[in-house]
Structure 1
């Protein structure tokens, strides 16, 4: 696949290349034709990070080619980022240009926005932050209508909230999500919404329970929990666990038990290799698991976790790396077959793709 470039006129051809690549990877497993979910051509990315580059006495937003930290690409607008980010970029730049307090040793800016219009800006400094900085930052936050997080070595100052609130609609119901600063969230909100609706449809209305591994902030947990009697969900990141618990509470979802364990640790617990204090009071044998949902990191599932999923009648797998997805399916293909698959174009104009498969027992 040739290196993609940002050019909306070539988007359809680039998406077709990705679909062909996914078909090629899943061909050994006799997968059906993938359902393809496209992205907005512009203004699709809800979060982004810029280094600042000093030139002609001023700091400018800058990005760098991979592997080259010395040749900045100076930018004033960023068409792949959300319209809200593009609105905020010149306003923030004007603010730091007018204030030595805000600009002194400022080296990085991060924007986190949502489809529902919420915004948070993180300002990172190579110097301590003091009360004078906080007063100016509070004024800036009020002027821009955003929350601001200031970061310096060993210090973090929050003005407003340290999270944004997103709203995503799945099967006609609006779910509210707290997305914390610094934690992982899906960058393409429109495509994320399509992923959630696909997973909701594929899971279907069930009478058995769901095990979810790598649940993050509850992105999939919330809608999928409405399809089953009970969910046991796991996540290792403490900030993501806290966000997921808040999201469950905010949405009135009370049939989910969330434990802070890695997928590998839960595998050990289900295999009765050793007990875990964080599972105290949870009767794993009381669950009637028929489905497992996994959304692992780019490395995919480790071999033991992959073997664990083999126990389930149905495996719903969302992947950010089709190569490791294919490797995991190769381990499972003797007991499970692909019934449905999909391509979600989370990352237009790049080689990356998000995909999903439903594996059912043969």
Structure 2
């Protein structure tokens, strides 16, 4: 078996998925007696984004990754089988252009790819030098020839040629949704599994009595918008300016009229909810909402103590986790007030130990 990153082993996939499901089941055995619902990934070309170091050896340049155990030795990446077909197509064409054009190659350090299921693509080239109009003059025709958005970055510089985003179309909950994904904002890496995750969350929400939804960590609205069809009103919070800008665009293009985005962190919202103070939280008519459910998709650290106390006040907690260990800790902290009623595994990263999970907690009594 090759040690090169990004390889696929379809014949091993089902055994790996079964092991991940069993691990999740065992972790939550104190709170859950069933088998997790399992959502598999495609076995190849499932990652919509990737980043590579650009390595120069004499007159030759190649894309590289590194083994954490040997971080000084580049591993050449002639292709990236876990990456989308569009990423693999662009890798070859971009290297051809870099070799042919010294202005593109000179002190090029890194290349980042963001693609969609429909083949839309954004490439960011990162340099250890200042970029100018001469770089634009050779990069702009390249972008047109490859049909991509292209961005050049260097220290304190960001040169956007035509656009800084891709538009993804996902089929979720029986409808197609359009999501603008802006460079350097968080996006789900595995689009097909993302469709499963959001559809699963919507299916759980459809089982709840209709009310209002509070969402923390809403990002660009990938969960927010489809979930909004199952609630009267939605208040969603997000700290990133770029993600809030994308979310507002996505609300408009998808014709959603019952979602308000609040730019604040989950921690600030939790503190404001508890104290009734804070300029940002006073901008929203919290007493006017009739919250029945809270939806959270936190970072790997899970919910902090204040946010755990906040979500405890809701009838239902709908939780997507990129780290089942912190999800388990949060579930344990909520056990005195909430019961775990649903558990799901989402395999965003095949051929790795990484697991993502979904959970529903219902207030006891």
Calculate the TM-score normalised by the size of structure 1. 0.97
Match for residue 223 of structure 1 among 218, 222, 226: 226
Match for residue 312 of structure 2 among 299, 310, 319: 310
Structure of higher RCO (CA pairs closer than 8 Å, 6+ residues apart) = 1
Contact map agreement 2:8 2:81 (CA 8 A) in 1? no
Counterpart-to-counterpart distance in 2, 1:96 and 1:141: 13
Where does residue 71 of structure 1 map in the other structure?
A: 73
Match for residue 217 of structure 2 among 214, 219, 224: 214
Please say if 1:343 is aligned against 2:345.
Answer: yes
Please say if 1:284 is aligned against 2:298.
Answer: no
Secondary structure of residue in 1 paired with 2:73: coil
Counterpart-to-counterpart distance in 2, 1:174 and 1:83: 22
Please say if 1:149 is aligned against 2:146.
Answer: no
Q: Deviations 1:267-316 (Å, cap 9, x if unpaired)?
A: 11211x25222234421111111100000000000011011111111100
Contact map agreement 1:31 1:338 (CA 8 A) in 2? no
Counterpart-to-counterpart distance in 2, 1:279 and 1:328: 25
Q: Deviations 1:107-148 (Å, cap 9, x if unpaired)?
A: 100000011211000000000101111011100000000000
Secondary structure of residue in 2 paired with 1:268: helix
Counterpart-to-counterpart distance in 2, 1:108 and 1:138: 18
Contact map agreement 1:206 1:227 (CA 8 A) in 2? no
1:258-337 counterparts in 2 under 5 A? 258-271=261-274, 273-337=275-339
Deviation at 1:24, TM superposition (A): 1.0
Deviation at 1:61, TM superposition (A): 0.3
Where does residue 362 of structure 2 map in the other structure?
A: 360
Deviation at 1:67, TM superposition (A): 4.6
User: Which runs of 5 or more structure 1 residues have no equivalent in the other structure?
Assistant: none
Counterpart-to-counterpart distance in 2, 1:282 and 1:106: 46
Please say if 1:113 is aligned against 2:111.
Answer: no
Calculate the TM-score normalised by the size of structure 2. 0.96
Secondary structure of residue in 2 paired with 1:63: strand
Where does residue 139 of structure 1 map in the other structure?
A: 141
Contact map agreement 1:206 1:229 (CA 8 A) in 2? no
User: Which runs of 5 or more structure 2 residues have no equivalent in the other structure?
Assistant: none
Deviation at 1:31, TM superposition (A): 4.3
Where does residue 197 of structure 1 map in the other structure?
A: 199
Please say if 1:39 is aligned against 2:41.
Answer: yes
Secondary structure of residue in 1 paired with 2:361: strand
Secondary structure of residue in 1 paired with 2:326: helix
Contact map agreement 2:8 2:43 (CA 8 A) in 1? no
Where does residue 96 of structure 1 map in the other structure?
A: 98
> Number of aligned pairs?
359
Contact map agreement 1:210 1:290 (CA 8 A) in 2? yes
Deviation at 1:346, TM superposition (A): 0.2
Counterpart-to-counterpart distance in 1, 2:300 and 2:61: 34
Deviation at 1:56, TM superposition (A): 4.1
Counterpart-to-counterpart distance in 2, 1:281 and 1:164: 31
Counterpart-to-counterpart distance in 2, 1:218 and 1:56: 45
Q: Deviations 1:63-102 (Å, cap 9, x if unpaired)?
A: 0012532111101111000000111111000000000000
Counterpart-to-counterpart distance in 2, 1:40 and 1:92: 26
Counterpart-to-counterpart distance in 2, 1:31 and 1:231: 32
Deviation at 1:53, TM superposition (A): 1.2
Counterpart-to-counterpart distance in 2, 1:159 and 1:39: 33
